[in-house]
Amino acid sequence: MLLRELQALLNRLYDTQVDLDVHDFLVTDRRALPAAHAAATADEQLLVRQSDGAVDVALFLAREVLERLQRRDPMHRLDTGNLADYWTALEGVSHFHYLAWNAHHDRPVALHELEMQAEVDKYAVTLFVLGAQHSGRFPLRLHELLFARTRVDGALAAHKRELYESASRYAARFCALLERRFLKRGRLRCEALVRELRAFYRMTHAPKIRHIEAARAGLASL
């Protein structure tokens, strides 16, 4: 199924080993969510509860999203007709995968970090999926589609909206740096890109921010 394929892609891309199956944590019925989460309109939510040293996790993805993706499988053909639903599903799998990997390594995860990494994952995985579907050619407008044309839900509380906007902004900066360094005229320096992505994935939150800022400053001085 699609979610397992996406989880396997993340495992291969980042050379991680998350043995937990995302389907074992999947909820698709909004009515099964706690009241505060059921009232939200988001089609994807990661629910985390800590108690007595244990962490309970559930990933909600709206049934309608998964049904549409089943009818138009993005792993067979990814286009504007299924891209939004694909990114919703990928974001959920990314959240789950990153939280599980960090928990395995006894590392806490900040919400800003979780959201920033999910945006990077959406860019990176989509880049490779489209490359595989188009004989090694990569989309030149992917960064624009992901970061310039998407908007944070205006109904969110101001502090949450600011957090998501900040996470997207840092991810956009990092992915723009990747494009400048590794993507030239639709052709990709694949091995170098993967090394950079894997190194970034293993950084904790503050070093990720510093890495992005330092890389931007370095390019600006050229």
Angle of helix 111-133 relative to helix 83-104, nearest 10 degrees? 130
Report the C-alpha gap between 163 and 217 in whole angstroms: 23
State the Rg of the chain over Cα.
Answer: 17
pLDDT at 222 over 70: no
Task: Identify the domain containing residue 53 by its residue range.
Answer: 2-220
The answer, as to whether pTM is greater than 0.95, is: no
Report the C-alpha gap between 37 and 138 in whole angstroms: 37
Q: Bridge partners of 184?
A: 187
Q: Residues 184-203: pLDDT tens digits?
A: 766 778 899 999 999 999 99
Domain count, the chain: 1
* Bridging pattern class, strands 44-51 and 54-61: antiparallel
Q: What's the half-sphere exposure (Cβ side, CA atoms, 13 Å) at 59?
A: 23
pLDDT at 153 over 70: no
Residue 29 is given by DSSP the state -
pLDDT at 22 over 90: yes
What percent of the chain lies above the pLDDT cut of 90? 68
Report the C-alpha gap between 26 and 61 in whole angstroms: 7
